[in-house]
Amino acid sequence: MCLSIMTTSINLLHIDPIPAPMMLKIMGGASEVGSFSVYLEEHGIRMLFDNGLTPSKPPKYPMKASPIDLAFLSHAHIDHSGMIPWLTAEYGVDVVATPPTTTVGTMLLEDTVKVSASEGYPVPYEKRDVRDLRRYFQHSTFGDIVEIGDIEVKLHSAGHIPGATMFEISGEKRVLITADINTLDTKLVPGANAHDCDVLVIESTYSGRNHPPRSKTEYEFLGKVEEVVDRGGVAIIPSFAVGRTQEMLMILKDSGFDVWLDGMGRAVNSEFLKMPDYLTSAENLSKAMGNTRIVRNRDERKVAARSEVIVTTSGMLDGGPILDYLRFLKDDERSAILLTGFQVENTNGRMLLEAGTIKLHEVPTRVNCEVGFFDFSAHADHNELVQFIKDCNPETVILCHGDDRQPLADDLQDFEVLMPMEGEPIELA
């Protein structure tokens, strides 16, 4: 096998070309958000881009991948990485990804094995498969080109979270696979730039929906935190460990509130600070950490529960320290749970938003404190997706990773737009 990564060039995969049109299949996350996986084959070279699972109850998986020659992982989030350990255990295939993705992704995968087993939905691999995954990772970074036979794959920043990657595949056609993208600069990462291509495979998570201006959301969020603190309550901010926790801390950095941090976000912060080139400002993240008190044990958790602001995992309320804080504070009408991200169906977070209840020890429990939601999404919204697509100027647009793709398709009249279902083959002649 011979693969080559340039700037810097490695050779890892050599395959004699087999005449055949490029063929693409979205193995998961075509008509829904989550379980994302894209299969691409050209000249006999078989590649897989992401292999995720949806952390619902029970979890949702992509279609089972057949043997491949090389895999690529766009970023650490479980809906893109969750089945990568199965892939490497099954086929012993190398996986190209950036250092933040491999480091933080491994942490999330280890936690997924633990949490899924405790919930009674064990994933189809073991912790040792996650541990073994490290030897299959091939580190690459933005601007690098991976050569596979006569095909080149170039890595571009996708915004979204540190290390998140878009993949530009150059064969007979130039294909850009975005995975999750954010085109706006945030406090954590710079936004993604468009790249010319013939075929664009793009997420459509926010098809038909636009985010409020980020500055307005931050202002309203800080205003709500102040309101809660002024009335003697605690602002509980459930946050995804990767991406959202760091951004919340930077938004709160100069607020003057007594802010505590609990959960996996602590370790993720430390890892990101070791890789400053992938951040908008490592200095600002470091300062935010300096203004934050860390919860290290259960006794400190009790102290934090009497403080002003708590940022903690999990972001969907399905495990981790957040459950302890909910036990302490769920009946305190002065306090508030401020959700900051998308809540998957059948999670505690979705139940809380829709019914005002959560499950504690599998028992439905009423939450009597205030509940709020703030749109801090790390995905491009409808208008941003439309502009990004126009700037890429493709011949064909393939919409995926969305449960309602039609509104986005309606605004792309100047392009050939495809909305395949999971497993549907597309020939890119």
Domain map (residue ranges) of the chain? 3-209+378-428, 214-373
What is the mean predicted confidence (pLDDT) over 68-79?
98
- Tally of CB atoms within 10 A around 354: 10
| 314 upstream amide cis, omega within 30 of 0 | yes
pLDDT-above-70 percentage for the chain: 96
Structure confidence at residue 14 as a pLDDT band (50, 70, 90): low
Alpha carbon distance 118, 123 (integer Å) = 11
pLDDT value for 62 = 98
pLDDT value for 5 = 59
pLDDT value for 233 = 98
Structure confidence at residue 324 as a pLDDT band (50, 70, 90): very high
Superfamily of domain 3-209+378-428: Ribonuclease Z/Hydroxyacylglutathione hydrolase-like (3.60.15.10)
Instruction: Report which residue type is found at 197.
Output: C
- Which residues lie closer than 8 Å to 144 by C-beta, 6 or more apart? 5, 6, 7, 8, 154, 155
DSSP three-state, residue 210: coil
pLDDT value for 251 = 97
Q: Which residues pair with 425 in a beta bridge?
A: none
What is the mean predicted confidence (pLDDT) over 295-314?
96
- Residue-wise pLDDT for 110-126, tens only, equals 999 998 888 889 999 99
Structure confidence at residue 16 as a pLDDT band (50, 70, 90): low
Instruction: Report which residue type is found at 45.
Output: I
pLDDT-above-90 percentage for the chain: 89
Cα-Cα-Cα-Cα dihedral sign, residues 132, 134, 137, 138: negative
Structure confidence at residue 429 as a pLDDT band (50, 70, 90): confident
pLDDT value for 11 = 47
- Which residues lie closer than 8 Å to 126 by C-beta, 6 or more apart? 113
- Residue-wise pLDDT for 19-57, tens only, equals 678 999 999 999 999 999 999 999 999 999 999 999 887
Structure confidence at residue 185 as a pLDDT band (50, 70, 90): very high
12 pLDDT above the threshold of 60 = no
8 pLDDT above the threshold of 50 = no
DSSP three-state, residue 263: coil
17 pLDDT above the threshold of 60 = no
pLDDT value for 6 = 57
- Residue-wise pLDDT for 135-177, tens only, equals 999 999 999 999 999 999 999 999 999 999 999 999 999 999 9
Fold of 214-373: Rossmann fold (3.40.50)
- Measured in residues, the chain has a length of 429
Structure confidence at residue 4 as a pLDDT band (50, 70, 90): low
Q: Are strands 145-148 and 3-6 parallel, antiparallel or unpaired?
A: antiparallel
- Residue-wise pLDDT for 217-244, tens only, equals 999 999 999 999 999 999 999 999 999 9
> Model pTM?
0.94
Q: Would the CATH topology of 3-209+378-428 be identical to that of 214-373?
A: no
